[in-house]
Amino acid sequence: MAINWFKYSAPSTFYGAAGKMIPWFAGASAILFIVGLYMGFFVAPTDVQQSEAYRIMFIHVPVSILSMIIYLIMAGYAALGLIFNTRLSAMMASALAPTGALFAFLSLWTGALWGKPMWGAWWVWDARLTSELILLFLYLGFIALHASIDDPRRADRASALLAIIGSVNVPIIYFSVKWWNTLHQGATIKLSGTSMHVAMQQSLLTMFLACWLFAITMALLRVRSIILERERNNQWVMELAETKK
Amino acid sequence: MNPQPIAQQKSGVDLSLIGLLLLVIRRDLLLAMRRRADVLTILIFFVIVVTLFPLGVGPELNLLRTMAPGTLWVAALLASMLSLGRIFSADYLDGTLEQMMLIPQSLSALVLGKMVAHWMVSGLPLVLMAPVLGLQFDMSAEALGILILSLLLGTPILSMIGAIGAALTLGLRGGGVLVSLLVLPLCIPVLVFGAGAVEAVTSGISPVSHLSLLGALLLLAFVSTPWVTATALRISME
């Protein structure tokens, strides 16, 4: 079965496809959230050192990892848009940015809540915390630059360039716990074996998938609005059922 | 056959890349010298910001000595942000930039020339002024030497990264604040290693690793930023 992928790189066809995909992603995300939170709060055992406080990890770790992954995906879409001049890629990049910024913010917020009982401080000037904060600034810079340019084409291209430059920061965040000897603990989840209880690991994985699906849902919802906004003068938009009022 | 006339044959103008670079630097410096007040304003801003810190935290010398490298570096960072708008905006407003982009030679070389000129006008005075301000903070001679060295290595990077931001925000409303929002996060490594080098020497550790990293950043910026800025200019001007 051959699928013509290029068909869905046109905003008009992707609009419909995205609309069909959203309920599935949203539903799966909601189910995984419920399962993951239940497992995290009731099934996973109490930690010996950190007692109950460690449970914030089930939010903190997925949003932190995703804040980095979303930035890379955003920069990837931005690069695609810049190189091949595809309209949809740039729209996807700007649709991903607010979710990424939200995740970066949540990562810092939950990190502060976790840091207070564990380290005795809401914030420490640790390499990983600082570089995650820079990531949040990069997201905000991307959004601000895009918002302040009126011409959508120039806005897409200028912010794409910024996103690509900023992606230098992602490896710095990821390796910061290895390069600098810091307060923030190193990676616990490794490909070859882990030092974590199985139930904890499974709930973490479930929450990670839930957050990922949530990000996809939000990006698709947002990209549909962006498509409508950008293509509002086109015939196919005027023929849509939801625009006829 | 010597390689020089290739540019000549293509363009009909006797201008090698180095020639273009020197020409742009000379032109921008000349323009800056005609408006000396602009250069002085940045320097005065730098001095005032640095002066505010002892007034704000109190004149305790031990405290000031530990704060000095960070304070001077942050002030230098802010001062160089303030002057970023000037790299391209005057040329953009009177249409010169559009003409410049038509040159047959590499746009990156032209941009590099503008970066160097910008550094000589806004970065170099700060480097020369910093030791005097450092004395106000009771810094030792050794620390002052490292401070000058770290600023010499670091301020060109600020001009280069800043040029990207300036090119991206060319002709936008509220460009001045926006450019700080875009550029400051990218400048943080320079600040960390620059101030870190001075702190290392005051606490008795060798500053070589910090300075080497700054040097590496400078080389990286030297190789990549002119091209990125040229791309940004093309995006903004099309």
- H or E element in which residue B169 lies: none
Tell if the CB–CB gap between A165 and B188 is shorter than 8 Å: no
Over residues B206-226, the mean pLDDT reads 92
Residues of chain A contacting residue B231, judged by C-beta atoms under 8 Å apart? 161
Q: What are the pLDDT digits (tens) for B106-127? A: 889 999 999 999 999 989 999 9
C-alpha distance from residue B99 to each of B22, B93, B107 (Å): 18, 12, 11
CB-neighbour burial class of residue B15 (10 A; exposed 0-12, middle 13-18, buried 19+): middle
Which pLDDT band holds residue A243 (cuts at 50, 70, 90)?
low
Dihedral angle over CA of B153, B158, B164, B167, nearest 10: -120
Given a cut of 70, is residue A145 above it in pLDDT?
yes
Most confident of A31-45, A92-106, B72-86, B190-204: A92-106
Instruction: Give the pLDDT of residue B61.
Output: 83
In Å, the largest CA–CA distance within chain A is 63
- DSSP conformation class of B23: H
In Å, the largest CA–CA distance within chain B is 68
Which pLDDT band holds residue A56 (cuts at 50, 70, 90)?
confident
Closest CA of chain B from A88, distance in Å: 18
Question: By CA distance, what is A164's nearest residue in B?
Answer: B228
Instruction: Give the pLDDT of residue B6.
Output: 43
Tell if the CB–CB gap between B236 and A138 is shorter than 8 Å: no
Which pLDDT band holds residue A99 (cuts at 50, 70, 90)?
very high
Q: Which residue in this structure is represented by tokens 């109490």?
A: A46
Give me the count of residues in chain A. Answer: 245
CB-nearest to A141 from B174, B185, B238 is B185
Closest CA of chain A from B230, distance in Å: 11
| Cα separation, B179 vs B164, whole angstroms | 9
Q: Which residue in this structure is represented by tokens 């001007």?
A: B237
Over residues A94-116, the mean pLDDT reads 91
Q: Give phi and psi for A121, each to the nearest 5.
A: -145, 145
ipTM score assigned to the predicted complex: 0.81
Token readout for A188 is: 């616990």
CB-nearest to A154 from B164, B182, B236 is B236
CB-nearest to B168 from A130, A134, A161 is A161
CB-nearest to A165 from B178, B181, B186 is B186
Token readout for A74 is: 């955003």
Instruction: Give the pLDDT of residue A178.
Output: 67
Residue A173's contacts (CB-CB under 8 Å, 6 or more residues apart) are A68, A128, A131, A132, A134, A135
Residues of chain A contacting residue B186, judged by C-beta atoms under 8 Å apart? 165-166
CB-nearest to A158 from B173, B174, B235 is B235
Q: What percent of chain B has pLDDT over 90?
A: 36
Tell if the CB–CB gap between B185 and A157 is shorter than 8 Å: no
Instruction: Give the pLDDT of residue B5.
Output: 47
CB half-sphere exposure, A182, CA atoms < 13 A: 20
Dihedral angle over CA of B117, B160, B104, B86, nearest 10: -50
Token readout for B193 is: 């290693």
Given a cut of 80, is residue B164 above it in pLDDT?
yes
CB half-sphere exposure, B154, CA atoms < 13 A: 32
Residues of chain B contacting residue A130, judged by C-beta atoms under 8 Å apart? 188
Q: Would you list which residues of chain B are within 8 Å, Cβ to Cβ, of chain A?
A: 164, 168-169, 172-174, 178, 181-182, 184-186, 188, 228, 231-232, 235-236, 238
Average pLDDT, chain A: 84
Residues of chain B contacting residue A154, judged by C-beta atoms under 8 Å apart? 235-236, 238
CB-nearest to B228 from A138, A144, A165 is A165
Given a cut of 90, is residue A232 above it in pLDDT?
no
Q: Give phi and psi for A47, each to the nearest 5.
A: -75, 145
Closest CA of chain A from B233, distance in Å: 9
Tell if the CB–CB gap between A144 and B238 is shorter than 8 Å: no
The identity of residue B18, as a single letter, is I
Which pLDDT band holds residue B4 (cuts at 50, 70, 90)?
very low
Of residues B71, B81, B65, the one with CA closest to residue B51: B71
Closest CA of chain B from A231, distance in Å: 22
Beta carbons of B85 and B179 less than 8 angstroms apart: yes
Task: Report chain B's C-alpha Rg in angstroms.
Answer: 19
Closest CA of chain B from A136, distance in Å: 10
Which pLDDT band holds residue B2 (cuts at 50, 70, 90)?
very low
Q: Give phi and psi for B93, each to the nearest 5.
A: -70, -40
Which pLDDT band holds residue A100 (cuts at 50, 70, 90)?
very high
Strand partners for A47? A51
Instruction: Give the pLDDT of residue A210.
Output: 93
Average pLDDT, chain B: 86
The identity of residue B181, as a single letter, is L
Beta carbons of A59 and A110 less than 8 angstroms apart: yes
The identity of residue A106, as a single letter, is L
| Cα separation, B164 vs A234, whole angstroms | 35
Q: Which residue in this structure is represented by tokens 């990286």?
A: B220
Determine how many CB atoms are found less than 10 A away from the CB of residue A71: 26
Given a cut of 70, is residue B195 above it in pLDDT?
yes
CB half-sphere exposure, A51, CA atoms < 13 A: 2
Q: What percent of chain B has pLDDT over 70?
A: 94
Instruction: Give the pLDDT of residue A241.
Output: 72
Over residues A110-135, the mean pLDDT reads 83
Which pLDDT band holds residue A190 (cuts at 50, 70, 90)?
low
Strand partners for A51? A47
| Cα separation, B28 vs B121, whole angstroms | 9
- DSSP conformation class of B86: G
Determine how many CB atoms are found less than 10 A away from the CB of residue A204: 23
Instruction: Give the pLDDT of residue A188.
Output: 61
Tell if the CB–CB gap between B185 and A138 is shorter than 8 Å: yes
Helix segments in chain B, DSSP class H: 5-11, 17-34, 36-57, 61-82, 89-93, 96-100, 107-118, 124-136, 141-168, 175-202, 208-237
Which pLDDT band holds residue B90 (cuts at 50, 70, 90)?
confident
CB-neighbour burial class of residue A153 (10 A; exposed 0-12, middle 13-18, buried 19+): middle
Given a cut of 50, is residue B8 above it in pLDDT?
no
| Cα separation, B112 vs B178, whole angstroms | 22
Tell if the CB–CB gap between B238 and A154 is shorter than 8 Å: yes
Determine how many CB atoms are found less than 10 A away from the CB of residue B13: 12
